[in-house]
Amino acid sequence: MLAFVKTIREAIANWWSEFTLQTKLLAAVTLVVSLVMSGLTFWAVNTIQQDARLNDTRFGRDLGLLLAANVAPLIADHNLKEVVQFSQRFYSSTSSVRYMLYADETGNIYFGIPFWEPEVETSLTIKRRIQLPDDYASDADKPMVRQHMSPDGVVTDVFVPLTVDNKYLGVLAIGINPNPTAVISTNFTRDVTIAVFISIWVMVILGGVINALTITKPIKELLLGVKQIAAGNFKQRIDLPFGGELKELILSFNEMAERLERYEEQNIEELTAEKAKLETLVSTIADGAVLIDNNMQVILVNPTARRIFGWEGVDIIGENVLHHLPPSVQAEITRPLYQMAAGECESAEFRIHLTQGMHRTIRILLTTVLDQQRENVKGIAITVQDITREVELNEAKSQFISNVSHELRTPLFNIKSFIETLHDYGEELTPEQRQEFLATVNHETDRLARLVNDVLDLSKLESGRRYNLDAVDLGQAIEQTLRTYQLNAKDKGIEIIQEVEPKLPLVVGHYDLLLQVLANLVGNALKFTQAGGKVAIRAYTLASPSPEGSDRPQQVRVEVSDTGIGIAPEDQKAIFDRFFRVENRVHTLEGTGLGLSIVRNIIEDKHHSKVHLVSEVGVGTTFWFDLAVFEEEIAGRQEGAVTEPAAQTHTISTS
């Protein structure tokens, strides 16, 4: 039972919660009005009934006093017959009297209308009597009035004492019927009140039902449809059988939804195409690009940015970008990002060095994305540029300029010093001193010329100029190089050895560039080899089997060996850097420090090979590189050419 009551209460609560505030207020007002009207009506009915009872009381008291005054003398004379006749005539002449009872001093009823004594005495052999208060006879002048409810209405009971000469003879009880007109009026008023109350609520309920069916329901359907469309569901339709203005409203709503659906489909296609174009464009640009919203959540990121920040394989879309940036980047751009999101600034630029993973230097550009009115910030575009190469080139450029300035300053200072000395004190100097000064100036001038030529050569090689490679006779280039340095080697007491394979094939290269490589290597070997030492130039063919079992195109290896001072292991890694010189450490010989840089550039960048070295301090140094054999020469040679083993690339011993 309790569960059933609880279910009913929940159902009523759910039903009531579905009503709108206006409906609830209307129901409350209706209830108050109906209760007030019903209360007023019942108050009026009660007032009328009280007036009727008061009138009945007055009428009964007056009638009882009149009857008592007429029958009291007859009862005192014991003329009961006359009392009976008078009572019968009076009872028959009015409909207001319901009954008349006569009782003696003790309250025993001895006559009554519509009862009479034989009936009273024989009715179930019960002695009928009227129970009155004990002191009733002492207040003989005041009738007692009371009322009781009967099926016909309220009956007024009047008890009038019968006294003659102040002698109490008994009591006359008269019952007065209610006023028929008042009863009918009261009943009618009560029925009308109930009918009005019921009619009001019936009208309210009918009005609510009609309102729910004809107005509220379509309005709710329209409201639901509008909410669905506002949420982006343009497939929403309303199908209700209504006429008139509601029908036109529903048809207009359905037509609007259909147009919005077609418009959305068209826009989706256009937006999808534009998004694909944008993503394609962003993914192909060389710089990193990240687009975030005002909450720092990633909307778009291209592959370059993923590579720079190490986001490959990470689903970064929708995540807070600050949670995935390297610590150095996060520390720099967090505050500017929030300032830009708040509209405090429009752009910012940072240069940050990344230390995690590969060391890089990046430039980050922050730019706000505004709406069409350019008033509100809709997001922030982050552009990431990897400027590591640019920074390295700038550093190399600065270092190059610094080194060139330093190298130029020394010979210029020496030249200027000796020229000034000759100019100021030429007459005071001996011929031998003047000759020595001029020789020094000439030597520094040659040194300056070499430095300038080396700088120009290196600049020309790094300028991106294209060189056409052709068949080159290495034997001829080696002979020309040895002729150039033969006198220099003879003056220093160094033996030059030439070991060139007979019938050496032509190689793919540029004659002038290879001649410069040989000149630099032989010149360095002579410079760092002491008197009595040896410098050797070798050239021979190589053929190495490939993994497939067939021979690769043959190559020619060129070696330049010396028995000089050698290169320490810690210097071998930097020996090809610009302006790096071994004499920087031994402080015995002069040089520009650009020769080996030129050699590496020519061999690696122009001939696509690699320069190798083997060196031991105090023993000597060997440089070697490989060059591809010219294809026509390969086709013209016979199989089974003589191949020198790689072990021959050794340092020449002084023994």
DSSP secondary structure of 464-500: T-----EEE-HHHHHHHHHHHHHHHHHHHT-EEEEEE
pLDDT digits (tens, 9 = 90+) for 104-155: 887 788 888 876 555 545 544 456 677 666 656 555 567 888 877 777 677 8
Length of the chain: 655
- For the chain, the 3-state helix, strand and coil shares in percent, each to the nearest 5, are 55, 20, 25
Angle at CA of residue 496, ends 442 and 519, nearest 5°: 50
User: Tell me, what's the pLDDT at 64?
Assistant: 82
- Torsion angle defined by CA atoms of residues 317, 318, 321 and 322, in that order, rounded to the nearest 10 degrees: -150
Burial 38-49 (b: 16+ CB within 10 A, else e): eeebeeebeeeb
Mean pLDDT of 304-330: 87
Mean pLDDT of 507-523: 88
Q: Is the dihedral of CA 213, 216, 218, 224 positive or negative?
A: negative
Residue 114: cis peptide before it, omega within 30 degrees of 0: yes
- Determine the residue type at 5: V
In this prediction, residue 655 has a pLDDT band, given cuts at 50, 70 and 90, of: very low
Nearest-angstrom CA–CA distance, 384 and 350: 10
User: Tell me, what's the pLDDT at 507?
Assistant: 92
The CA–CA distances, whole Å, from 275 to 271, 298, 299, 372, 638 equal: 6, 16, 12, 18, 63
Q: What is the CATH number of domain 392-460?
A: 1.10.287.130
- Determine the residue type at 654: T
Same fold, 17-231 and 290-386: yes
Nearest-angstrom CA–CA distance, 624 and 612: 5
Percent of the chain with pLDDT over 70: 77
Least confident piece of the model among 373-382, 465-474, 582-591? 582-591
Phi, psi dihedral angles at 553 (to 5 degrees):
-55, 135
Q: Which residue, chain included where needed, has tokens 């220099």? A: 488
Mean pLDDT of 571-577: 78
Percent of the chain with pLDDT over 90: 8
Least confident piece of the model among 106-110, 118-122, 379-383, 572-576? 118-122
Residue 366 burial (CB < 10 Å; 0-12/13-18/19+)? Answer: buried
- Determine the residue type at 249: L
User: Tell me, what's the pLDDT at 561?
Assistant: 94
Q: Is the pLDDT of residue 644 over 50?
A: no
> Which bin fits 269, alpha (ψ -120 to 50), beta or left (φ > 0)?
alpha
Q: Which of 475, 497, 473 is nearest to 485 (CA)?
A: 497
Higher pLDDT, 205 or 305: 305
Q: Which two tokens stand for residue 544?
A: 């190495």
Nearest-angstrom CA–CA distance, 495 and 488: 10
Would you say 336 and 330 are in contact if contact means Cβ atoms under 8 Å apart?
no
User: Tell me, what's the pLDDT at 462?
Assistant: 62
User: Tell me, what's the pLDDT at 498?
Assistant: 92
Q: Which of 302, 299, 281 is nearest to 380 (CA)?
A: 299
Higher pLDDT, 587 or 375: 375
Nearest-angstrom CA–CA distance, 117 and 98: 17
Would you say 461 and 598 are in contact if contact means Cβ atoms under 8 Å apart?
yes
Higher pLDDT, 357 or 6: 6
User: Tell me, what's the pLDDT at 183?
Assistant: 62
Looking at mean pLDDT, say which of 25-34, 121-130, 146-155, 495-504 comes out highest. 495-504
pLDDT digits (tens, 9 = 90+) for 49-104: 677 777 777 877 888 888 888 888 888 888 888 888 888 888 888 878 888 888 88
Q: Is the dihedral of CA 48, 53, 54, 58 positive or negative?
A: positive
The CA–CA distances, whole Å, from 98 to 31, 107, 172, 277, 651 equal: 43, 20, 13, 108, 159
In this prediction, residue 538 has a pLDDT band, given cuts at 50, 70 and 90, of: very high
Mean pLDDT of 411-437: 82
Residue 509 burial (CB < 10 Å; 0-12/13-18/19+)? Answer: buried
Would you say 334 and 320 are in contact if contact means Cβ atoms under 8 Å apart?
no
Nearest-angstrom CA–CA distance, 8 and 2: 10
User: Tell me, what's the pLDDT at 534?
Assistant: 92
Angle at CA of residue 265, ends 262 and 267, nearest 5°: 105
Q: What is the CATH number of domain 290-386?
A: 3.30.450.20
In this prediction, residue 624 has a pLDDT band, given cuts at 50, 70 and 90, of: very high
User: Tell me, what's the pLDDT at 388?
Assistant: 82
Half-sphere exposure of 190 (CA within 13 A, CB side): 11
Q: Which two tokens stand for residue 540?
A: 């021979």
User: Tell me, what's the pLDDT at 641?
Assistant: 42
User: Tell me, what's the pLDDT at 654?
Assistant: 30
Nearest-angstrom CA–CA distance, 621 and 615: 4
Higher pLDDT, 642 or 125: 125
Residue 204 burial (CB < 10 Å; 0-12/13-18/19+)? Answer: middle
For the chain, what is the mean pLDDT?
Answer: 77
User: Tell me, what's the pLDDT at 141?
Assistant: 63
Would you say 63 and 176 are in contact if contact means Cβ atoms under 8 Å apart?
yes
CB within 8 A of 319, min separation 6: which ones?
A: 297, 298
In this prediction, residue 589 has a pLDDT band, given cuts at 50, 70 and 90, of: very low
Nearest-angstrom CA–CA distance, 220 and 212: 9
Nearest-angstrom CA–CA distance, 391 and 387: 6
CB within 8 A of 126, min separation 6: which ones?
A: none
- Nearest-Å Rg of the Cα atoms of the chain is 66
The CA–CA distances, whole Å, from 185 to 45, 149, 191 equal: 9, 18, 10
Domain 466-648 grouped into CATH 2.60.40.10: no
Q: Is the dihedral of CA 204, 210, 212, 214 positive or negative?
A: negative
Q: Which two tokens stand for residue 653?
A: 């011993």
Q: Is the pLDDT of residue 516 over 80?
A: yes
Q: Which two tokens stand for residue 546?
A: 């490939």
Mean pLDDT of 473-481: 89
Mean pLDDT of 499-528: 88
- Torsion angle defined by CA atoms of residues 568, 574, 580 and 582, in that order, rounded to the nearest 10 degrees: 10
Residue 83 burial (CB < 10 Å; 0-12/13-18/19+)? Answer: buried
Q: Which helix (H) or strand (E) holds 537?
A: strand 534-542
Nearest-angstrom CA–CA distance, 409 and 421: 18
Q: Is the pLDDT of residue 565 over 80?
A: yes
In this prediction, residue 493 has a pLDDT band, given cuts at 50, 70 and 90, of: very high
The CA–CA distances, whole Å, from 526 to 12, 333, 644 equal: 112, 57, 26
Would you say 505 and 633 are in contact if contact means Cβ atoms under 8 Å apart?
yes
Residue-range domain boundaries for the chain: 17-231, 232-273, 290-386, 392-460, 466-648
Does the pTM of the predicted model rise above 0.85? no
Architecture label for domain 17-231: 2-Layer Sandwich (3.30)
Q: Which two tokens stand for residue 1?
A: 């039972």
- Determine the residue type at 224: L
